[in-house]
Structure 1
Amino acid sequence: MTRIVADISVSLDGFVTGPDPGPDQGLGTGGEALHTWAFSDDPDDRRVLHEATVRSGAVVLGRRLFDLVDGPDGWDDETGYGAREAGRPAFVVVTSSPPASVRLGALDWTFVTTGLPDAVTAACERAGAASARDGKDLDVVLMGGGALIRSAFDAGLVDTLSLHLAPVLLGAGTPLFTGAAPRALVQRGAVPTTTATHLTYDVL
């Protein structure tokens, strides 16, 4: 069965970017520390990243994040979805205005202009097709940013929350959750490594 997984790195004080994120500094000041684990040689970090990447049938992201990964300093053949894993699932972008062109044209992009629920539906269809092709269950991954994941929680679209808790206090930035409605979670896994604690929760 296809799960909808919100997967994101977060600081100990709850931020998914540092202060002042922008086109030239997508993770904000100090925010690169959130993703140290993704480039770590710790075998448990590598395993967590690999397992998540190969389980991804389709990935949903917002337009701001798309602009960063498709920008001139974004993904390339060696560093992409899943960091050095550079996975190639289908990508579904939530946007009010599709881009005129895409630099990463070798990847499978779909642009949805009718809102997040429709984007998740499209991603489920793509993940279902990939599951049938590969003969195994694949997930829809909500990659972010933080506002997209908050909206997905508010809409009741998330089955599983996968947090990569980085040992850093950013002090400010983009919060993952703020003013969210109460929601019960059940912890299903915790993997501590030298660079992060990888936490998995079922969303009730």
Structure 2
Amino acid sequence: MKPTLIYCVAASLDGYIARPDGSCDWLAGDDEAIACDGLLLGRATYDALSAHWSLPKKPTLLLTRHRPTHPPEQVRARHCTPSEALDELAALGCRRVRLLGGSSLAGNCSAAGLLDELVVRLMPHLLGAGVPLFAGGMERQLQLIDAYNLNGGSIHLHYRVLPEPQYVTE
């Protein structure tokens, strides 16, 4: 059984998660604690986070074609599909996996029907251009689970990704 996949990301009010050059220097505030057993992330997010943030001591799967030098011991680098990555994390006992950042990876997971939840910290900032919340993917309907104000004017939004609609043909 695949674990629940939760895409957790901070986004500007105009829907970007990073500047056009990939920088996130406009983000402020602490990362919210989302209950999870494991992490899934792409290489660009790993590179951005590893310089400024230590990854939690949880099983972490990094999807990349090029292995990083000296990754933390909990980080496994793989070149595989997101579905295969979730299978591997499930085999390690992960039931709730946090997908950290990564517009392309989030889009791929969405297109494959793997996303179960979306947690967005909506920041009171307009970037005007940059890396979108999702790159590609497909249309999905969401159901609001929770929403509340955070310090500094940010808003926490937690959604459940609804299954694809079933169309009846006659």
Shorter-chain-normalised TM-score: which range? Answer: 0.7 to 0.9
Change (3 A) 1:95 1:179: closer
The 5 Å alignment of 1:30-49 reads: 31-34=24-27, 36-38=28-30, 49=32
Change (3 A) 1:194 1:69: closer
The 5 Å alignment of 1:43-122 reads: 49-50=32-33, 52=34, 55-70=35-50, 74-75=51-52, 79-81=53-55, 87-99=56-68, 101-102=69-70, 104-105=71-72, 107-122=73-88
User: Which residue of structure 1 aligns with residue 18 of structure 2?
Assistant: 17
Question: Cα deviation per residue 1:53-75 (whole Å; 9 max; x = unaligned)?
Answer: xx2211001112223334xxx14
1:185 aligned onto 2:151: no
C-alpha displacement of 1:150: 1.2
- Per the alignment, in what secondary structure is the counterpart of residue 19 of structure 1? coil
CA contact (8 A) 1:91 1:109 kept: yes
CA contact (8 A) 2:11 2:121 kept: yes
CA contact (8 A) 1:95 1:115 kept: no
Percent same amino acid among aligned pairs? 28
**Which protein has the bigger helix share?**
1
- Per the alignment, in what secondary structure is the counterpart of residue 106 of structure 2? helix
CA contact (8 A) 2:108 2:137 kept: no
- Per the alignment, in what secondary structure is the counterpart of residue 68 of structure 1? helix
User: Which residue of structure 2 aligns with residue 200 of structure 1?
Assistant: 158
C-alpha displacement of 1:120: 2.0
User: Which residue of structure 1 aligns with residue 165 of structure 2?
Assistant: none
C-alpha displacement of 1:177: 2.8
Letter in 2 for 1:32: D
Runs of 4+ aligned residues of structure 1 deviating over 3 Å after TM superposition are none
Change (3 A) 1:127 1:143: farther
CA distance in 1: counterparts of 2:40 and 2:103, whole angstroms: 12
CA contact (8 A) 1:60 1:144 kept: no
| Root mean square deviation of aligned Cα | 2.0
Structure 2 regions of 5+ residues with no counterpart? 163-170
Aligned residue pairs total 160
CA distance in 1: counterparts of 2:103 and 2:135, whole angstroms: 10
